[in-house]
Structure 1
Amino acid sequence: MTDPDTLQPVHEPRLWSDERWTARVIKNEDDDGWAVSMTLHGEAEPALVGPWTMGRDKKNPKPLDVSAFNTLVKTASEVLRRHEQQLHAQLNKSVAVTVQGRRLRVALSIVPDDEGATATLSATDDLGEELARVPVPPTFRLTTASATAWAEGDFERPR
């Protein structure tokens, strides 16, 4: 019996897929050349779109093959990984401050949500023990000055 969620591999000159990715050679709308798109299964938009090589006849695209597909998977996976790292960095910030001779790490974590993002401000000491955790607006700006003021104010919820 076949699992309907299991995708069958496709190995065609302009369409190549495995259980996670689909490569599709498409006409480049900007010129006479060709492009290739790499889409992760389940996603609406491609993770990567790039130029594709012309075939020997200089009219049609070079056919996809296992080597090209594997290279495209590696490149598209790296694009997704960088995007995830960038998003993580935008949503999670931290600064180190010294207050009353104590070294503290103050962190802001934002959780995106279609209904409305939430954010948490937390402080840990140099041993990693959490000293405080409070909800803040997702628009809160974490800076060295705001972190120091929060710690000096006995970790009361910033207004």
Structure 2
Amino acid sequence: MTSNISNESRESGPSTTVNEPRLWCHKGWRARIIKNEDDDGWAVEMSKDGEPEPALVSPWTMGRDKRNPKPLDAAAFNTLVKTASEVLRRHEQQRHALYHKQLAVNTPSGRISVTLDIIADEDDPHALLRACDAYGEPLAELRVTAGFRLTMASARAWIDDDFRKPC
């Protein structure tokens, strides 16, 4: 696709504000209208400064001539920022839920919170198993394999075994 966007605009830094018909950069976000490779239409991609991939790619409205894209404006840009931010927030929540598990176990000495935080390191994947009392005071911390399954049974067994390393 040939672009009418200048090199100066394409290389705009994080603090630069650009308001062109096919490129808007403002407050750490960049909206860029691109040719939709799947059909004859257009798409808009929203990227956060410093991120290699766009947070959102969405179809974009055709202009009045039914060939060129409708130009970006402040209202559209603000809506796109809100939508892309929500997409990133949902991804972060999903990632947190995937890598962080928490259970509460009732024991004779009180409620114990057991958490498992998976560290998805390419070279050394592992997890940290932690126990805290009802006041949030740490009782134990243990490094386990990334494949460790935190269940009510495994948490109770760990507590009952005085926080020794599970087999």
Q: TM-score, normalised by structure 2?
A: 0.86
Gaps of 5+ in 1: none
Deviations 1:80-137 (A, max 9, x none): 1111111111111111122346322111012222322231111122222222111111
Structure 2: unaligned runs, 5 residues or longer:
1-11
Partner of 1:83: 91
- Which structure would you say has the larger RCO, counting Cα contacts within 8 Å and 6 or more residues apart? 1
Aligned to 2:134: 126
Written as runs of structure 1 = structure 2, the 5 A alignment for 1:1-159 is 6-100=14-108, 102-159=110-167
Q: Does structure 1 conserve the Cα–Cα contact (< 8 Å) formed by 2:14 and 2:28? A: no
Give the Cα separation in 1 of the matches to 2:17 and 2:89. 24
Contact 1:99–1:152 under 8 Å retained in 2: no
Size of the alignment, in residue pairs? Answer: 156
Aligned to 2:8: none
CA distance in 2, matches of 1:122, 1:34: 50
| Alpha-carbon spacing, 1:126–1:26, altered in 2? closer, same or farther (3 Å) | same
Deviation at residue 20 of structure 1 after TM alignment = 0.7
1:39 partner letter:
S
Aligned partners of 2:24 and 2:30 also within 8 Å: yes
Deviation, 1:7, is 4.1
Give TM-score scaled by structure 1 length: 0.90
Identity of aligned residues (%): 59
Runs of 4+ aligned residues of structure 1 deviating over 6 Å after TM superposition are none
Asked whether the 8 Å contact 1:38–1:76 carries over to 2, the reply is: yes
